[in-house]
């Protein structure tokens, strides 16, 4: 590629710092601008990562002619509005997960991508993880026979966090389901598709935040047992069991560095370490799609994001998970 893809980052929190370190590993990428609600914070971030432009408002970055793709790294509640604003200003968008907080928002975002003819993708980085891609191809090729059972979870202790922070604040779209439950739901959906039936139950914190959700996806010949929570740590190992064997993705499975296959009492482990932390691969996917003039990725399409949020809407409806000021 002759010309570098110019990235702008909006919302300079925790993930923005991790993302920018992987962006530096991608040859065809350059980060030209960062934006925060605070100009001082933007300047600090820009100086730490040698970024030439720092803005004290998100809109200024969206209007900047030196930015091709905007990466949105704010709390969930702002994903839809900010993505649509950026797309209306002609920018391609990579937006953190979940793409929107409900299906209606995701539909509006996809409509904006189509209307403005710009690329839009949910930053569901696990989809592009080399070990997870390999596991998907093994399953699709029948390596362990028909899948009967998937078990995946994502949990860590978070009840000591600030109640105003994005993790535990329902006003910001907080709670375990959209923050981390999205990963096990994604894995079951990736390997088995949309379930015939969804069963789930949630528990809530004193401030109304959802802090534990257990989910069963029922398929004609398989069940997936999934869990998200903020009330304890978990080893976070994923298991995929088929008629002829078991694939295990070791902890923390969503950022896998390998996998193992067990067949006829023999277990073999394979290492597939990521470049950087693993955001590298979603960045490469954005670049590949832009080079081909695509509006969406084939690996994680608009329909995939719609299906995923549709499943989370169902679980929210079943358990009364509300985000007060946004719906």
Ligand X SMILES: NC(=O)c1ccc[n+]([C@@H]2O[C@H](COP(=O)([O-])OP(=O)(O)OC[C@H]3O[C@@H](n4cnc5c(N)ncnc54)[C@H](OP(=O)(O)O)[C@@H]3O)[C@@H](O)[C@H]2O)c1
Binding site for ligand X (CB under 6 A): 11-15, 36-38, 41, 73-76, 78, 96-97, 123, 125, 166, 172, 179
Residue 104 falls in the annotated catalytic set: no
Report how far apart, in Å, the C-alpha atoms of 226 and of each of 16, 151, 153, 251 are: 28, 6, 5, 15
Q: Count CB-CB contacts under 10 A for residue 117.
A: 10
In the set 4, 41, 91, 97, the catalytic residue is: 97
CB 209 within 8 A of CB 175: yes
Cβ proximity to ligand X, 40 vs 317, nearer residue: 40
User: In the complex, what is the shortest distance from the CB of residue 148 to ligand X, in angstroms, rounded to a whole number?
Assistant: 30
Report how far apart, in Å, the C-alpha atoms of 86 and of each of 58, 99, 111, 190, 218 are: 9, 14, 13, 29, 38
What secondary structure does DSSP assign to 31-47, as a single string?
Answer: EEEEE-SSHHHHHHHHH
Closest CA to 122 of 62, 64, 182, 34: 182
User: In the complex, what is the shortest distance from the CB of residue 124 to ligand X, in angstroms, rounded to a whole number?
Assistant: 8
What secondary structure does DSSP assign to 251-268, as a single string?
Answer: SSGGG-SEEEEEETTEEE
User: In the complex, what is the shortest distance from the CB of residue 120 to ligand X, in angstroms, rounded to a whole number?
Assistant: 15
d(Cα 81, Cα 119) in Å, to the nearest integer?
Answer: 16
Cβ proximity to ligand X, 38 vs 303, nearer residue: 38
Q: Count CB-CB contacts under 10 A for residue 209.
A: 23
CB 176 within 8 A of CB 210: yes
Contacts of 90 (CB under 8 A, 6+ apart): 116, 118
Give me the half-sphere count of Cα atoms (radius 13 Å) on the Cβ side of residue 221: 8
Residue nearest to ligand X (CB): 13
Cβ proximity to ligand X, 13 vs 245, nearer residue: 13
User: In the complex, what is the shortest distance from the CB of residue 86 to ligand X, in angstroms, rounded to a whole number?
Assistant: 14
Cβ proximity to ligand X, 83 vs 241, nearer residue: 83
Cβ proximity to ligand X, 41 vs 263, nearer residue: 41
CB 69 within 8 A of CB 93: yes
User: In the complex, what is the shortest distance from the CB of residue 178 to ligand X, in angstroms, rounded to a whole number?
Assistant: 7
Cβ proximity to ligand X, 37 vs 244, nearer residue: 37
User: In the complex, what is the shortest distance from the CB of residue 2 to ligand X, in angstroms, rounded to a whole number?
Assistant: 30
Q: Active-site positions?
A: 97
């Amino acid at each position: 590629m002759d010309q570098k893809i110019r990235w702008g980052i909006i919302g300079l929190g925790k993930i923005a710092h991790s993302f920018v370190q992987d962006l530096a590993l991608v040859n065809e990428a350059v980060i030209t601008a960062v934006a925060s609600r605070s100009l001082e914070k933007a300047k600090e971030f820009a100086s730490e990562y040698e970024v030439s432009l720092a803005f004290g408002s998100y809109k200024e970055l969206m209007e900047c002619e030196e930015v091709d793709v905007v990466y949105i790294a704010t709390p969930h509640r702002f994903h839809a509005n900010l993505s649509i604003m950026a797309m209306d200003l002609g920018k391609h968008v990579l937006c953190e997960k979940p793409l929107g907080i409900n299906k209606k928002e995701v539909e509006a975002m996809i409509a904006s991508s189509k209307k403005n003819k710009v690329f839009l993708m949910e930053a569901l980085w696990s989809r592009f993880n080399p070990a997870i891609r390999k596991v998907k191809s093994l399953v699709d090729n029948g390596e362990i026979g028909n899948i009967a059972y998937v078990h995946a979870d994502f949990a860590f202790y978070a009840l000591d966090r600030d109640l105003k922070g994005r993790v535990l604040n329902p006003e910001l779209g907080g709670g375990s389901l959209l923050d981390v439950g999205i990963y096990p739901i994604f894995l079951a959906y990736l390997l088995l598709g949309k379930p015939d039936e969804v069963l789930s139950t949630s528990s809530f914190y004193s401030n109304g935040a959802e802090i534990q959700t257990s989910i069963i996806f029922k398929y004609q010949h398989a069940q997936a047992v999934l869990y998200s929570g903020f009330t304890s740590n978990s080893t976070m190992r994923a298991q995929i069991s088929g008629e002829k064997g078991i694939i295990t993705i070791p902890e923390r499975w969503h950022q896998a560095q390998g996998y193992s296959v067990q067949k006829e009492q023999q277990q073999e482990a394979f290492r597939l370490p990521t470049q950087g932390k693993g955001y590298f691969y979603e960045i490469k996917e954005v670049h590949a799609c832009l080079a081909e003039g695509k509006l969406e990725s084939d690996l994680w399409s608009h329909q995939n994001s719609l299906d995923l949020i549709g499943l989370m809407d169902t679980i929210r409806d079943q358990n009364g998970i509300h985000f007060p000021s946004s719906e």
